[in-house]
Homo-oligomer: A and B are copies of this chain.
Amino acid sequence: MKLNDDGLLIVLSGPSGVGKGTVRDALFEMEGHDLVYSVSMTTRPPRAGEVDGRDYFFVTREEFEANIRAGKMLEYAEFVDNYYGTPLDNVMNNLSAGREVVLEIEVQGAEQVRKKMPDAVFIFIAPPSLDALYKRLRARGTEPEEVIQQRIEKAKREINLAYKYDYIVVNDTVENAADKILAIIRSEHASVKRVLKQYKKMLGVE
């Protein structure tokens, strides 16, 4: 029995290299949920095989900036001369329809969401150790040692922001992490602050 009609906004965030995307994929492959992934908007050109509206909403720089000015971005950031962000409309429509919306975003973006949607569930995906994070970044094989070291330093600063989140899910194995996130979603649907008013109304108890 779900007592709140609105879906939950679930924010998955954490340091670069922690495996947010893999955890999110595993989560969506699991049974027993009604999750919707919030497709991001970007100004970077589509790569081979990427589909507009599925992988990203691909827009021009002018369109993206018009969205920012119109307050239509829940969060956004600029990386390497391209904008990336979460369109607000899509999120709100899904939440109103009772769906759980999952955002998988950078720590910086999560800070913006926290200001606009404090009722969201903020989950910090954390590495089991800094060494594990280092190895994962190395295994990508795309960056020089110096850049990896910078990422580790950034990860430490981001871990120091974890206190602002509701949950810390250690990505020791992807299955464990995804399973824990599902438990968190179920549990949040029973939290007194979310359901009490509606429960008492349902029972006719003042």
Contact = CB atoms under 8 A, between A and B. Distances in A.
Nearest to A180: B190
Contacts of A123: 190
A160 interface: yes
Interface stretch (A74-82, A90-98, A126-134): A126-134
Interface string A1-32: 10100000000000000000000000000000
Given A126-B199, A162-B196, A199-B162, A1 B156 contact: no
A202 interface: yes
Contacts of A199: 126, 159, 162, 168, 170
Contact of A187 (B126, B188, B205): B188
Nearest to A182: B183
A206 to B, nearest CB: 8
Contacts of A206: 160
A165 B184 contact: no
A60 interface: no
A144 interface: no
A83 interface: no
Contact of A162 (B182, B188, B192): B192
Given A172-B1, A176-B1, A187-B186, A205 B167 contact: no
Nearest to A158: B205
Interface of A: 1, 3, 123-124, 126-130, 156, 159-160, 162-163, 165-170, 172, 176, 179-180, 182-184, 186-188, 190-192, 195-196, 199-200, 202-206
11 contacts: A1-B172, A156-B205, A162-B192, A162-B200, A163-B192, A163-B196, A167-B191, A180-B187, A183-B186, A184-B186, A187-B187
